[in-house]
């Protein structure tokens, strides 16, 4: 007797499997928020970044109001960046040696106090540029401690299988805050002056500190390594801990190569986007209005990339990170060839989405591969590697533009980003970077 063959599926009927799979992904995207510790972390993180996005704008307009001009503005902005570069390795050590939640709390408290003091000085009418620079420097120094502690705390508030989704949720909220907060800050500055904007920043930092203080990291069962810092022993001092963190990066060839990649691509991208981009907007697009549209497109791409990371967890981490970073060359090339505005906007959207997806995937990999008691230092060195060459790139881009021209310089920047982004794929270690089978099984 011949077996009865099953009827072929009707291609016109909807496939319930696909619909069910997408519903499961949407439900899974909010699973970390069911945990009280992560909800507090998420809300505090968003408020902290909302304050951080408005603070430079308020300090900049306060500096201009003193009559110092562009030179005063440059001093204030530089004062906010330099302490981060200097103190990031120290911040990584502190995040590993002490309770990360407490580091986050005190970082926000320090920023709230500094900006309250600056607002009082502005109201008194006696504020000077150096005082605003000190305020920016204090907040920048606090950020050097906050960033590695906040990124490292994710491994303590969510289990391994939910960290990718948790990172995507944090990035999604952060980018929404980046888009909305400067607009709110601009309204506050225009309506009531920079002092009120600084008060708003101080309030967001204070509320963030309260939310972080309510996070209770479980100490039952196996404790995270970062919750029980090791003291004593050889090399236990600050310099020894910083050196140990550097060795954690250097001993992993794939990690050292990717940090170097981020240093080259990040500096070339920022020089083209932040320095040459407004110049292009002024010369070609006709002013700040259309360039503002382009900047909004990039921020929208960042939000889209975070949303994509919520729905997609790629296994081949090395390839995705290199491709996402390489997408930054698209808008630089589009500017170099004077692409029409719709094409330019599309290029910036793609670049933002690729960059944000790469950042979420990369952070999740580091949280998986690096031991918890060393994660803060590795994250701080990774961030430091991206920031360190940026001032040099700014200084070299101006003379290069005067000699080569705007469009030629942007074309070289696009080529540099493409080459640096794809070069790590030459190494088999980078090509084989994937999430571990246990991690994928847990996520499944």
State whether 131 and 260 are in the same domain: no
Quick one: which of 113, 134, 110, 112 has its CA closest to 62?
134
Quick one: which of 336, 215, 331 has its CA closest to 270?
331
Mean pLDDT computed over every residue of the chain: 78
C-alpha to C-alpha distance for 250 and 256, rounded to whole angstroms: 5
Instruction: Count other Cβ atoms within 10 Å, centred on residue 269.
Output: 26
Identify whether the C-beta of residue 299 lies closer than 8 Å to the C-beta of residue 345.
no
Asked whether residue 17 is assigned to any structural domain, the reply reads no
pLDDT (tens digit, 9 = 90+) per residue, 248-274?
778 888 888 898 898 899 889 988 887
Pair of tokens at residue 381 = 């060195």
Residue 443 pLDDT greater than 70, yes or no: no
Residue 355 pLDDT greater than 70, yes or no: yes
Mean pLDDT for 5-32 is 55
State whether 276 and 424 are in the same domain: yes
Residue 3 pLDDT greater than 70, yes or no: no
Q: Residue 54 belongs to a domain with what CATH number?
A: 1.20.1250
Residue of 184 and 285 predicted with greater confidence: 285
Task: Please tell me the pTM assigned to this model.
Answer: 0.69
Domain that holds residue 50: 34-159+181-215
- Overall number of domains in the chain: 2
**Least confident stretch, 214-223, 319-328, 425-434:** 214-223
Asked whether residue 349 is assigned to any structural domain, the reply reads yes
pLDDT (tens digit, 9 = 90+) per residue, 171-228?
887 777 766 666 666 677 777 778 888 888 889 899 999 999 988 874 333 343 333 3
Quick one: which of 104, 100, 181 has its CA closest to 142?
104
Pair of tokens at residue 305 = 């990339």
What pLDDT shows up at residue 195?
84
Asked whether residue 115 is assigned to any structural domain, the reply reads yes
Cα-Cα-Cα-Cα torsion 32, 34, 40, 43, nearest 10 degrees, comes to 70
Using N-to-C axis directions, what is the helix angle for 100-124 and 129-157, rounded to 10°? 160
pLDDT (tens digit, 9 = 90+) per residue, 95-154?
878 888 888 999 999 999 998 998 898 888 878 888 888 888 898 889 888 888 888 888
Quick one: which of 101, 349, 56 has its CA closest to 198?
56
What pLDDT shows up at residue 71?
64
**Least confident stretch, 1-15, 70-84, 233-247, 345-359:** 1-15
State whether 253 and 307 are in the same domain: yes
Asked whether residue 429 is assigned to any structural domain, the reply reads yes
State whether 151 and 254 are in the same domain: no
Alpha helices in 125-252 (DSSP H): 129-157, 163-192, 194-213, 238-250
State whether 83 and 43 are in the same domain: yes
Please give the backbone phi and psi of residue 235, each rounded to the nearest 5 degrees, phi first. Answer: 70, 20
Quick one: which of 83, 117, 111, 87 has its CA closest to 212?
111
Using N-to-C axis directions, what is the helix angle for 238-250 and 69-97, rounded to 10°? 90
Mean pLDDT for 231-239 is 52
Please give the backbone phi and psi of residue 316, each rounded to the nearest 5 degrees, phi first. Answer: -85, 85
The alpha carbon of 382 is separated from its chain's Cα centroid by a whole number of angstroms, namely 11
Mean pLDDT for 365-394 is 79
Pair of tokens at residue 235 = 């090399």
**Least confident stretch, 35-39, 78-82, 186-190:** 186-190
């Amino acid at each position: 007797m011949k077996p009865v063959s099953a009827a072929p599926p009707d291609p016109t009927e909807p496939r319930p499997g696909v619909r069910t799979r997408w519903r499961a992904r949407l439900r899974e995207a909010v699973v970390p928020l069911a945990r009280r510790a992560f909800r507090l972390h998420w809300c505090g993180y968003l408020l902290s970044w909302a304050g951080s996005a408005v603070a430079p704008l308020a300090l900049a307009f306060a500096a201009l109001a003193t009559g110092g001009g562009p030179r005063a503005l440059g001093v204030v902005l530089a004062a906010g960046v330099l302490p981060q570069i200097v103190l990031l390795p120290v911040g990584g050590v502190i995040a590993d040696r002490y309770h990360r939640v407490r580091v986050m709390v005190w970082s926000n408290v320090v920023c709230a106090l500094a900006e309250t003091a600056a607002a009082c000085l502005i109201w008194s009418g006696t504020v000077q540029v150096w005082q605003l620079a000190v305020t920016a420097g204090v907040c920048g120094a606090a950020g050097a401690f906050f960033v590695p502690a906040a990124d490292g705390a994710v491994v303590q508030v969510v289990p391994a299988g939910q960290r990718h989704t948790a990172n995507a949720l944090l990035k999604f909220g952060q980018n929404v805050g980046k888009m909305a907060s400067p607009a709110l800050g601009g309204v506050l500055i225009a309506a009531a002056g920079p002092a009120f904007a600084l008060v708003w920043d101080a309030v967001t930092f204070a509320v963030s500190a309260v939310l972080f203080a309510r996070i209770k990291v479980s100490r039952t069962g196996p404790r995270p390594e970062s919750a029980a810092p090791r003291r004593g022993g050889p090399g236990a001092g600050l310099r020894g801990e910083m050196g140990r963190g550097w060795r954690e990066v250097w001993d992993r060839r794939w990690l050292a190569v990717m940090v170097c990649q981020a240093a080259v691509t990040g500096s070339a991208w920022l020089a083209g986007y932040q320095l040459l981009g407004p110049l292009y907007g002024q010369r070609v697009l006709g002013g700040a209005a259309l360039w503002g549209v382009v900047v909004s497109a990039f921020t929208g791409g960042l939000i889209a990339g975070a949303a994509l990371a919520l729905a997609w967890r790629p296994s081949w981490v090395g390839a995705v990170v290199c491709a996402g970073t390489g997408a930054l060359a698209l808008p630089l090339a589009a500017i170099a060839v004077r692409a029409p505005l719709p094409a330019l906007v599309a290029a910036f959207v793609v670049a933002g989405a690729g960059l944000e997806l790469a950042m979420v995937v990369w952070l999740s990999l580091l949280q998986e591969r690096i031991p918890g008691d060393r994660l803060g230092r590795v994250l701080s060195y990774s961030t430091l590697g991206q920031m360190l060459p940026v001032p040099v790139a700014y200084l070299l881009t101006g003379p290069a533009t005067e000699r080569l021209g705007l469009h030629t310089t942007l074309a070289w920047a696009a080529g540099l980003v493409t080459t640096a982004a794809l070069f790590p794929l030459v190494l088999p270690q980078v090509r084989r970077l994937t999430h571990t089978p246990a991690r994928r099984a847990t996520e499944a």
